[in-house]
Structure 1
């Protein structure tokens, strides 16, 4: 039985000029996730037994590096990089929330949640999520065609397909590694990504509808771990619907750190 660990990146810098970097809390969260992953993998595991993946966003790359370091704290950094170099794949990147806001906010300004956010002066943080939910709902409803969108705008259908393609390639890589090595315990996969992609990986596995899949996104904690399992078939890699969910959005280890509660959702 092999495992696939889906790890959301640590807290990003939401209120800074550069969102795509880990906050100080996010950096620590990633280390805690690595310590938890070490407990999951068990003693004596070789980092080369795990196939490591992440997106190309800075917050994802930094999280992956800190997870690996936290998982194998006694291994020199250079040796760890040589034995377990991650595959960076833009297919695991989050959707471009700034592009969505730029396209949909004014178009949805008549909606109460959006109007309240656009007119807010002092309470924009609290009002952002309801407005953003409206934006994402409109994006999903538009499917594979968005009227008057910028040339590089990614539709919901394109986003879904991108995630499925990246997910299937990672699962196949883990299966191939297990088949080639023949070593017990090989074949595990660790994917560091973001809330949207993780929710769509679950959708591919559990056959959820679009709205239910994105609902899962809103509750994923930063640096949480979702675990999938599969029974390896030597003849072919598993399909997404052949995977099984072991647990979802585990972050108890963030509630019991030496610094106290280190949980965040944004």
Structure 2
């Protein structure tokens, strides 16, 4: 069997002008995970990230802390869905969502339900169906060609990882939404691939983090 580790990026910079960069806490989270994986003996033959800055910065933190010499590859298929696009298309607004993470999450979930209904696809740069197909393809590509006993590490975002997990559980939008809601920054989802296909064995493991370092946004 081969093993794929799906890693959510470290904490980004919510509430600032540039969300798409790691906060100081996010850098610490990525380094803590790199140290944890190194001590666990993880030595990936493939390291991948989406194209977003927070994802690429997390990969660098992992590599530096773990001491890996595998050069990272960027696959935009692992990019997160465009939350701003969803919120801009939603007919309601909540000014508090710009700085209050809970208000933002409530509004985003309402906007996500509208997006996933497939009744308003023309309103979005990427439909929900296109997003899920993109993640399906990225997941297949991430494990393609991995030999028995080989590991791959992919750094992505909560929505993308939640869909990969929901797909493997034969779930749909409700399961995706529930998983997306609880994904921890730098949390690890472990998928094994063998003769019977892909199997998710853990979701959102964040045992490498002190409790005070656990963040969701």
TM-score (norm 2): 0.91
Which structure is larger by alpha-carbon Rg, 1 or 2? 1
Aligned residue pairs total: 217
Relative distance call for 1:193 and 1:125 in structure 2 (3 A) is closer
From 131, 138, 146, give the equivalent of 1:166.
138
**1:125: Cα distance to partner?**
4.2
After superposition, what is the alpha-carbon deviation per residue over 1:125-179, rounded to whole angstroms, capped at 9, x for unaligned?
4422212110011111126x524x26xx100000001111111111104x2xx2x
Counterpart CA distance in 2 for 1:123 and 1:154 is 25
The corresponding residue for 1:22 is 22
**Is 1:209–2:181 an aligned residue pair?**
no
For structure 2, the residue ranges without an aligned partner over 5 or more in a row are: none
The corresponding residue for 2:73 is 87
**1:230: Cα distance to partner?**
2.4
Contact kept in structure 1, 2:109 and 2:177, CA below 8 Å: no
**Is 1:98–2:84 an aligned residue pair?**
yes
Contact kept in structure 1, 2:97 and 2:103, CA below 8 Å: no
Q: Secondary structure at the match of 1:203?
A: helix
Counterpart CA distance in 1 for 2:167 and 2:181 is 18
**1:214: Cα distance to partner?**
2.2
**Is 1:132–2:83 an aligned residue pair?**
no
For structure 1, the residue ranges without an aligned partner over 5 or more in a row are: 179-183
Counterpart CA distance in 1 for 2:3 and 2:75 is 20
**Is 1:245–2:200 an aligned residue pair?**
yes
**Superposition map of 1:117-266 within 5 A:** 117-118=94-95, 124-142=100-118, 146-147=121-122, 149=123, 153-173=125-145, 175=146, 178=147, 185=149, 187-231=150-194, 233=195, 242-255=197-210, 261-266=212-217
Counterpart CA distance in 1 for 2:213 and 2:118 is 37
Counterpart CA distance in 2 for 1:202 and 1:128 is 23
**1:211: Cα distance to partner?**
1.6
The corresponding residue for 1:181 is none
Q: Secondary structure at the match of 2:213?
A: coil
Counterpart CA distance in 2 for 1:214 and 1:50 is 31
In proportion to residue count, which structure has more strand?
Answer: 2
Counterpart CA distance in 2 for 1:193 and 1:168 is 15
Counterpart CA distance in 2 for 1:226 and 1:121 is 28
Counterpart CA distance in 2 for 1:133 and 1:244 is 27
